Amino acid sequence: MEEKQNNKVHRARKAGPKADRKREKEIIKKTGEAPQKEKNAKAFTFRSHIAAANATRRNLDREVRKHHAPMLSASVGATSQELPPFIVAVVGPPKVGKTTLIQSLIKNYTNQKVTELNGPINLVSGKNRRITFIECPNNLNAMLDVGKMVDLVLLVIDASFGFEMETFEFLNILQVHGMPKVMGVLTHLDLFKSKEKLNKTKKKLKHRFWEEIYQGAKLFYLSGMVNGRYLKNEIHNLARFISVVKFRPLLWKSGHPFVLADRMEDITPPQLIEKNPNCDRTIALFGYLRGTNMKHGMKVHIAGVGDFPVKELDSLIDPCPLPDKKPKKLNEKQKLIYAPMSNLGNIFFDKDALYINIPDNQVNYSDLPNGNPVDPSSSKDSSDDGISLVRRLQGTQTPIDDKLQQSSLKMFKNSAPILNSHEDEEDEEDDEDEMDEGMEEEDDDDEEEDDGDGGDESEEEIERPNDGRNRRRAPENMKYDTNGNEDELVYDEDDDEDEISLLRKQRQSRGLDDDEEDEDEDDMEEEGEEEDSSRWKVNMKARAAESFQRGPTLMEIIYGNERKKESQVEEDSDEEDFFKPKAKKEEEEGENEIDSSKFFSREDGKENTDWNDESVISSLLNRFVSLKDHLPSGAGGEVEENGQDNPEEEVYGDFEDLESGEKFEGKKNLPKDAQEIQEEERKKQDEERIKQKENLKKAFDKEYDASDDDEESTDYFSELKASVDKQAAMNNAEFANEDPEKRALYEGYRIGSYLRLEIENVPVEFIRYFDPNQPILVGGLQSSEEALGFIQTRMKKHRWAKKILKTNDPLVFSIGWRRFQSMPIYSIEDTNARGRMLKYTPEHMHCLATFYGPITPPNTGIAAFQSLSKSNTGFRVSATGVVLELNQSFHIVKKLKLVGVPYKIFKNTAFIKDMFNSQLEVAKFEGANIRTVSGIRGAVKKALKEAGHFRATFEDKILMSDIVFLRTWYPIKPTKFYNPVSSSLTEEWTGMKTVYEIRKQKGLAIPNKPGSQYQPLQRKQRIETPLIVPKKLKDSLPFEITGKQREKEAQRKNPDRALEKKREIILEPEEQKVAQLLKAVNTLKKEREKMVDEKRKARKEAKNKKVEKETKAKEAKAKEGRKRVYKAEGIAQLQRDRSNKKARTQNA
């Protein structure tokens, strides 16, 4: 019989949220009320003022850490319309989902499905932002170009595989050339079957990503795909972050203009290509200008090709503009996309043309297969005027020039047509007639004014050519109706309203009502709208009279209707009058208020003028030139309404009579000093008024404005930022009122312009090996960056590079826009500022590297590579650094030790050989310090007759076995080697190889030089000779320190010493046995004592362990006792609290 299973008894929870809920239910059952929760004391106050101060300080430090030094760049103060699209690069190893990510983002932004991705893709992502997407190919050249120009990097990582080497290589490139914004994207998460493993992988990759970028960097997870696209919500979330991210201008990009070409055209003349297919080409590159302004004549560097001057630089229409009006949400028409290399956007702009690309599958109106044109009338789409027009153009057989020569113009229905063949003759006749008319106008002006029958010659003049036809010249304000009626003339809708206002005044002066005026205007509009060809004959006389009456006066023709223009300006600028000087405005109105060249009319407000009054007649004398000199003083001024002269204002100055040729000078009514005093007083009043208004405006802004721009800021960062913004505003306001073309000549084309760069003498290999997936970076060069020289940098070997770097081994450097190969020399600076050459780079420290290359400003980042090949499986970034200084030469020295031996020795002088080869070499080193192996110092004195021998002096006598050293420093000059990386001109670029690579490729062994081999040292044993003191020296020594005296002194101090030396103790055989026995007994005694000590130590250690164990048991027992006591006290306290609470509730 099976035994029954004894399960563990369930223990109910006594703590935690579940136990608290159970306890509350029990209290509710007993009392009928829910217990009141006590407030958390920590939630409403702080326990320590020190902790609160530390927390506040920490928060402030976090805010200050986010601050960056404000930089003055071309983008500061620019509007969203002026800024170019931000470059977003999608970077990652192959097969991680880069193309799919870009397609999904384009689908999210523009709702378009893109199948082919080549080159940059420009699109409108919002009402204030445009984006340029670019996919970075998997090669170092493209990574370097993208890292120099990108604003935001989407780092795509395959979560199922982890980080790959290309990812860290690109991050190191970004760190060198300026770190932009980086966001990570994890893909292939759907390959994980276990959720625990997925979460663990996410956490691991996130923390590794944070180590490389910064703590808290954005990392997005794309969990899977549907129909070849990532999930819509995840892509939408990523797109929102891209649309709102803020970019910081980087130092190199802010100081150099650059263009990411989204289109390339080969515009070489076909004749040159036919003659020589390998001739240099002329290309046109198109793209948005970024960085800073680009000026005419600036030299540019095309990455992977070389440096070129820009032949022609033009600004074109923006192919992907932002919407003019800022909507709340973009509609489908405003979601523009432009990518010529990917066949997105069918409109392409050029310097003098616009190209519309119509795909073949969308062309429905073409010729029949047999070559016969389609009949527009028989087509189903003949109702469409555009389609029929194109089909007519397809059937055209005659060139347009011949058609123009044979064309004719029929102005009226029943008139003779005007042939184009008579155009030249008629133009000559027109010119002659216009000259005759001009002469007649000068003579007959007065007659035309008196008679009133001439009208406007430009409207009613009739010409009679030799062929007898009557031709009427059309006025400039009339146009032909293009709606199919060639006979009808229609007034232009863009005419000014001066004639209408003048007609209204004239009709009022004739006593016409406004209603009649409106009816006349309606009649005129109806006449313009009617399409009957004979309408022009109706009421011709009346309309001719009206056109004469409403014609502009001579004053209006010459000077324009200034009064009307000023009234319009005043209406538009009512809000700005508060900040304008009032005196100047009144003065200008006084000058233009009344036309002084014509009589006062009723509309001028002079209806009650009495022309019989002599004062009124005298006021008109200044209108006549011949009487102005005979006027009395003060009569030539303007007459005010009260009849008094106004001597302060002089409307007319010096002038010349065109009929008689006499010159007249306007007389001043006041002395010159008085006029100057009045002008100064007026200026002072204007300045005071302006200052007063400015102070009022400042006070108003200070009180009511939300921003405290005018107040003095106490924050240093705010002051620095304000100064940068102020300088940017000044720069933008300098040429704000200039014409765009003129402004481009001064400061160059501004950022955000869509430019066309025409470049000559480009190698044909650029066209032959052109790859649209490879980014075309066109970087502008400053004038100082075109020369070559020596560059000194501070470099450090990358910690992941396999081998240390050797001096004069070729390296590929990426500095600025360029990539080139050079041979660096490594050195280190000693304490005495001497640059000492190093054969190899240090393992874990910086060193100086000097090489030959293009001049680059200091503080520019450097990345060095030994090879750009894809076959290199290791980490390809060999070293990183920064430019320190530039010069045409640097002093780098190498340690050189010269060795010589003495062949003749005197007291302190010796003759040395085998150190130099000639007397000239000795002469160069005269006075140099030398030293022997034993440490005796000396100096080179003079050369001897033998070649290379010299005399040297030492501070002591040297031996013939001594070796003499001379430490020197030999200057080293870097090799002038500069090899640009022309990766765009070949399929795979290979530069100079190192000696190791050549030997490995050819299978050569390292040459064995006998002088470079280490040989075993064979030293003769040195026989030390005894010290012999000469007898003469002993006699000369003092008596106290002689040998005999020292011996006697020792014997005197120790008398037994002499006896011990003289006698020797010899034991008997019995005594020897006793001595040996005693020695054995003593040995046994010592061993026994040693064993006793060891046993004592063991007993003591065992006792200590037992005591320690008992002590721990006692402490544990006491602890359990205390727990029981505290628990009992807590239960008793809880029961007392419950009883008290119950008593309170009962009493209540």
- Give the 3-state secondary structure of 67-114: CCCCCCCCCCCCCCCCCCCEEEEEECCCCCCHHHHHHHHHHHHHCCCC
Q: What is the pLDDT of residues 266-321, one digit of tens each?
A: 999 999 999 999 999 999 999 999 988 898 888 999 999 999 999 999 999 898 99
Rounded to an integer, the average pLDDT of 798-803 is 90
Q: What is the pLDDT of residues 30-59, one digit of tens each?
A: 887 777 776 666 666 667 888 889 988 999
Rounded to an integer, the average pLDDT of 825-834 is 89
Lowest-confidence segment of 26-40, 61-75, 452-466, 1132-1146 by average pLDDT: 452-466
- Determine the Cα angle at 46 with ends 43 and 49, to 5°: 170
Output 817 or 452, whichever has higher pLDDT: 817
Rounded to an integer, the average pLDDT of 18-39 is 81
CA 1129, 1133, 1139, 1143 dihedral sign is: positive
pLDDT for res 224: 85
Q: What tokens appear for 380 in the block?
A: 């189903």
- Determine the Cα angle at 731 with ends 730 and 735, to 5°: 105
Q: Cα(242)–Cα(828) distance, rounded to whole angstroms? A: 45
Question: At residue 806, does pLDDT exceed 50?
Answer: yes
User: Residue 756: enclosing H or E segment and its boundaries?
Assistant: strand 754-762
Q: What tokens appear for 859 in the block?
A: 């503080």
The conformation of residue 915, written as its DSSP 8-state character, comes to S
% helix / strand / coil in the chain, to the nearest 5?
40, 20, 40
User: Sheet of 86-91: strands edge to edge?
Assistant: 219-221, 181-187, 152-158, 86-91, 130-135, 121-124, 337-338
Rounded to an integer, the average pLDDT of 1100-1120 is 93
CA 238 to chain centre: 23
Lowest-confidence segment of 30-34, 146-150, 885-889, 1121-1125 by average pLDDT: 30-34
Helix intervals (H) in 96-221: 98-110, 140-149, 165-177, 195-212
Residue 601, class by beta-carbon neighbours within 10 Å (0-12 exposed, 13-18 middle, 19+ buried)?
A: middle
Question: At residue 561, does pLDDT exceed 70?
Answer: no
Residue 314: CB atoms within 10 A of its CB come to: 18
Output 565 or 1065, whichever has higher pLDDT: 1065
Q: Cα(192)–Cα(9) distance, rounded to whole angstroms? A: 41
Three-class SS state of 930: strand
Q: What is the pLDDT of residues 456-483, one digit of tens each?
A: 433 333 333 444 444 433 333 333 343 3
User: Are 744 and 94 within 8 A, CB to CB?
Assistant: no
pLDDT for res 1132: 92
Q: Cα(152)–Cα(158) distance, rounded to whole angstroms? A: 19
Q: What is the pLDDT of residues 337-348, one digit of tens each?
A: 999 888 776 666
Lowest-confidence segment of 84-98, 383-397, 646-660, 912-926 by average pLDDT: 646-660
Tell the residue number behind the tokens 């000093």, with chain if given: 673
Rounded to an integer, the average pLDDT of 1024-1028 is 79
Q: What tokens appear for 459 in the block?
A: 């409207």
Q: What tokens appear for 843 in the block?
A: 């393992």
Q: Cα(394)–Cα(365) distance, rounded to whole angstroms? A: 9
Three-class SS state of 404: helix
Three-class SS state of 182: strand
Give the global pTM.
0.58
Beta strands in 888-1020 (DSSP E): 892-905, 909-913, 929-932, 937-943, 950-954, 964-972, 979-980
User: Residue 1035: enclosing H or E segment and its boundaries?
Assistant: helix 1031-1036
CA 353 to chain centre: 31
User: Are 747 and 295 within 8 A, CB to CB?
Assistant: yes
Residue 497 CB contacts under 8 Å (≥ 6 apart), including other chains: none
**Among 404-418, 465-479, 543-557, 735-749, the range of highest mean pLDDT:** 735-749
Q: What is the pLDDT of residues 694-733, one digit of tens each?
A: 888 877 776 665 444 444 445 777 888 888 888 878 877 7
Q: What is the pLDDT of residues 573-594, one digit of tens each?
A: 444 444 444 444 444 444 444 4
Question: At residue 138, does pLDDT exceed 50?
Answer: yes
Q: Number of C-alpha atoms within 13 angstroms, CB side, residue 852? A: 15
Output 129 or 521, whichever has higher pLDDT: 129
Residue type, 814: S
Question: At residue 431, does pLDDT exceed 70?
Answer: no
Q: Cα(305)–Cα(764) distance, rounded to whole angstroms? A: 11
Pairing between β-strand 811-815 and β-strand 964-972 as defined by DSSP bridges? unpaired
Three-class SS state of 532: coil
Q: Cα(923)–Cα(372) distance, rounded to whole angstroms? A: 101
At residue 86, φ and ψ (nearest 5 deg) are: -75, 140
Output 829 or 628, whichever has higher pLDDT: 829
Q: Cα(526)–Cα(349) distance, rounded to whole angstroms? A: 43
The percentage of residues in the chain with a pLDDT greater than 90, rounded to a whole number, is: 35
Tell the residue number behind the tokens 């046993």, with chain if given: 1095
Give the pLDDT band of residue 132 (cuts 50, 70, 90): very high
The percentage of residues in the chain with a pLDDT greater than 70, rounded to a whole number, is: 67
Lowest-confidence segment of 28-32, 182-186, 552-556 by average pLDDT: 552-556
Q: Cα(703)–Cα(340) distance, rounded to whole angstroms? A: 54
pLDDT for res 222: 92
Three-class SS state of 349: strand
pLDDT for res 982: 92
Kindly report the average pLDDT of the chain as a whole number. Answer: 76
Residue 839, class by beta-carbon neighbours within 10 Å (0-12 exposed, 13-18 middle, 19+ buried)?
A: exposed
Q: Cα(73)–Cα(728) distance, rounded to whole angstroms? A: 8
pLDDT for res 42: 62
Q: Cα(788)–Cα(799) distance, rounded to whole angstroms? A: 31
- Determine the Cα angle at 297 with ends 291 and 301, to 5°: 55
Q: Cα(909)–Cα(938) distance, rounded to whole angstroms? A: 9
pLDDT for res 175: 92
CA 843, 844, 847, 850 dihedral sign is: positive
Give the pLDDT band of residue 926 (cuts 50, 70, 90): very high
At residue 233, φ and ψ (nearest 5 deg) are: -65, -40
pLDDT for res 1041: 59
User: Are 850 and 808 within 8 A, CB to CB?
Assistant: no
Pairing between β-strand 263-266 and β-strand 229-230 as defined by DSSP bridges? unpaired
Largest alpha-carbon pair distance within the chain?
A: 181
The conformation of residue 604, written as its DSSP 8-state character, comes to G
pLDDT for res 526: 43
Residues in the chain: 1148
pLDDT for res 586: 41
Residue 123 CB contacts under 8 Å (≥ 6 apart), including other chains: 85, 106, 109, 110, 130, 131, 133, 320, 335, 336, 337, 338
pLDDT for res 1100: 93
Please name which of 775, 984, 777 lies closest in space to residue 118, comparing C-alpha atoms. 775
Residue 570 CB contacts under 8 Å (≥ 6 apart), including other chains: 577
